[in-house]
Amino acid sequence: MHIETYNRPLTGFGQALRDFGSEYGINAFVAFIFAASGPVAIILSVGTRGGLSESDLASWLFGCFFINGLVSIGFCWLYRQPLVFFWTIPGTVLVGPALGHLSFPEVIGAFLATGLLMLVLGLSGWVRRCMEAVPMPIVMGMVAGVFMRFGLDLVFAIRDDFWLAAPMTVTFLALSALPRFARMMPPLIGALIVGAVAIAILGSFNPTEATMLSVARPNLYMPVFSWPAMVELVVPLAITVLVVQNGQGFAVLKAAGHEPPINAITVACGAGSIVSAMVGSVSSCLTGPVNAIISGSGLKERHYTAGLLVGILALVFGLLAPVFTHLLLATPPAFIATLAGLAMLRVLQTAFSVAFKDRFTFGALLTFIVTVANVAIFNIGAPFWGLVFGFALSWLLERKDFEAQRRRP
């Protein structure tokens, strides 16, 4: 076993309160609002398109927030670092096309297998080697392909519901262009507020029944293990967690002066994914954006307190998941599509930049084209085949790039 040693002695409750302050509280609140806005809209967009019920979506959100909130609190406390876990956004998007030809229990079976794979990798200490096995540009070619749909849906939302989607988009772009204001009001949160105001003015909020304060009663699913689901989802999901999401999270924390326990985090992602899969949630990961926000200012030694608060807020949100699910589903489809599309813009930009910047560009291009085409082969979805064909093409035609990657220190 290669699990990194946690901080000893453990931090007491009184010490954590003394380390906490208004700056860390504000950072935690902003980071949590970010996680509970655009990323939640992505889950609802993927789930509704895949035919999931409101109960399925509420259970999914419960797992994403409550279970990952518990893991976050535990790791922030044990390692005294801002180690917040949520769910893989690229993995969520990967599930969308899969739900078109796989049942939800089959997808859940793939979630469980992915969690088991990550658990083994974390315990064995092979994580770094696996993270370097597939070239990042090819991975990002797949990510760009699966995210493309959200960019297109944003355009369609502006076309179909102009007076709702356009003000949200303009607000997002205006705040993005004004960094001083963006620090006080993150662009995505500004778009959310403007969208809520527009819905109120247009009178387009249509709940199906009276919304009551109800506590989550998560569904427990019986997984189904099928070869098409295993082949299509397990490897791409593991790659998005270990390479895309966790890799981003490690980079963010190291830039802030922290030394994240890579193996322990991988074990937590595996164990968290196994537990959350039982209630229908996608794989857990170390979140990049949230950890970037809570470690962006203040003293490094006190950043963990912001992570603790984010975890507590996640517990509350998870317990009230049915309420939030019902409220969001009562909004116009263009609201969720616009919020999800705006949340994806920067990620899509990063995916294109990494995929076509330097090496492996031909393989990344083929990966992108195959993924966007969304043609299943042997009932296995396009993202998997995009990775396979892109990697094979690079191996044949871009051998110099593989040699350069091996020589890289």
SS (H, E, C) 11-67: CCHHHHHHHCCHHHHHHHHHHHHHHCCHHHHHHHHHHHHCCCCHHHHHHHHHHHHHH
pLDDT of 211: 53
Distance (Å, whole) CA 243 – CA 253: 15
More confident residue, 208 or 398: 398
pLDDT of 114: 96
DSSP output for 182-209: HHHS-HHHHHHHHHHHHHHHHT----SS
Question: What 3-state class would DSSP assign to 86?
Answer: strand
Nearest CA to 300 among 19, 92, 50, 101?
19
- pLDDT range class, residue 408, cuts 50, 70, 90: low
Distance (Å, whole) CA 107 – CA 405: 34
Distance (Å, whole) CA 100 – CA 75: 36
Q: How far is CA 39 from CA 18, 156, 330, in A?
A: 32, 19, 17
What are the helix (H) ranges across 63-161?
68-79, 89-98, 104-124, 127-131, 136-160
Whether residue 267 has pLDDT greater than 80: yes
Mean pLDDT over the full length of the chain: 89
Q: Are 268 and 284 in contact (CB under 8 A)?
A: yes
pLDDT of 168: 95
User: Angle at Cα 244 formed by Cα 285 and Cα 238, nearest 5°?
Assistant: 60
Question: What 3-state class would DSSP assign to 230?
Answer: helix
Average pLDDT rounded to a whole number, residues 266-275: 96
User: What distance lies between CA 390 and its chain's CA centroid?
Assistant: 24
Distance (Å, whole) CA 86 – CA 309: 14
pLDDT of 377: 84
Q: Which of 211-215, 327-331, 391-395 has the lowest average pLDDT?
A: 211-215
pLDDT of 10: 87
Average pLDDT rounded to a whole number, residues 164-168: 95
Distance (Å, whole) CA 379 – CA 227: 10
The length of the chain in residues reads 409
Average pLDDT rounded to a whole number, residues 284-293: 88
pLDDT tens track for 195-244: 999 999 998 887 766 555 678 889 999 999 999 999 999 989 998 898 88
Q: How far is CA 3 from CA 68, 262, 263, 264, 270, in A?
A: 19, 8, 6, 5, 13
pLDDT of 209: 62
Residues with Cβ within 8 Å of residue 104, at least 6 apart in sequence: 50, 52, 56, 221, 280
Q: Which amino acid is at 94?
A: L
Annotated domain spans of the chain: 13-349
> pLDDT > 90: what percent of the chain?
50
Question: What token pair was written down for 164?
Answer: 């709702």
- pLDDT range class, residue 108, cuts 50, 70, 90: very high
Distance (Å, whole) CA 347 – CA 128: 23
pLDDT tens track for 304-324: 999 999 999 999 999 999 998
- pTM, 2 dp: 0.83
pLDDT of 159: 95
More confident residue, 219 or 406: 219
pLDDT of 208: 66
Distance (Å, whole) CA 151 – CA 376: 22
pLDDT tens track for 344-382: 787 788 889 888 988 899 999 999 999 898 887 877 778
Question: What token pair was written down for 354?
Answer: 């990494």
Nearest CA to 130 among 258, 272, 231, 246?
246
Question: What token pair was written down for 181?
Answer: 């204001």
